[in-house]
Amino acid sequence: MREIVVDANVLLRLILGDVPDQFLKAKDLFSNARDGKIRIFIYEITIFELDFIMEKYYKIAKKEVISRLVELVGTKYLKVESRDAFMKTFLAYEKSKNSFVDCFLVTKTKTEQRELFTFDKGIGDR
């Protein structure tokens, strides 16, 4: 079975639907994954890029970004790196004033039963 890693631009076109021909290609790719014809992998870095681009470039509200990312990461037929940590991170990030990256760092550290050493105030143990 073919295994495909998708870049943030593919996911953005799928989520936003703002470039019609690319949206249709992305939709077709994901339909093939849903039907078990291919496997789609999404790496951690791609989720961070999506958050950054949607919030900073497209000016999408944090709550809406979280909603869209929860839907994407929660899609069972996709192979998402650190899926469980991301799902916990979305809950923390929604209530936090910290960055998405900092929330993920805290969540991942706790999930892996490690200690976080940081000079940032309010994100973890020092």
pLDDT digits (tens, 9 = 90+) for 3-56: 999 999 999 999 999 999 999 999 999 999 999 999 999 999 999 999 999 999
Residue that the structure tokens 């950054």 belong to = 52
Q: Tokens at residue 7, please?
A: 């870049």
pLDDT tens for residues 104-120?
999 999 999 999 998 88
The pairs formed by 120-123 with CB atoms below 8 angstroms and a separation of 24 or more are 122/97, 122/98, 123/98
CA distance 43 to 63: 22
Written as one letter, the residue type at 111 is T
The pLDDT score that the predictor gives to residue 121 is: 82
pLDDT tens for residues 18-30?
999 999 999 999 9
Q: What is the pTM of this model?
A: 0.91
Mean pLDDT, residues 81-102 taken together: 94
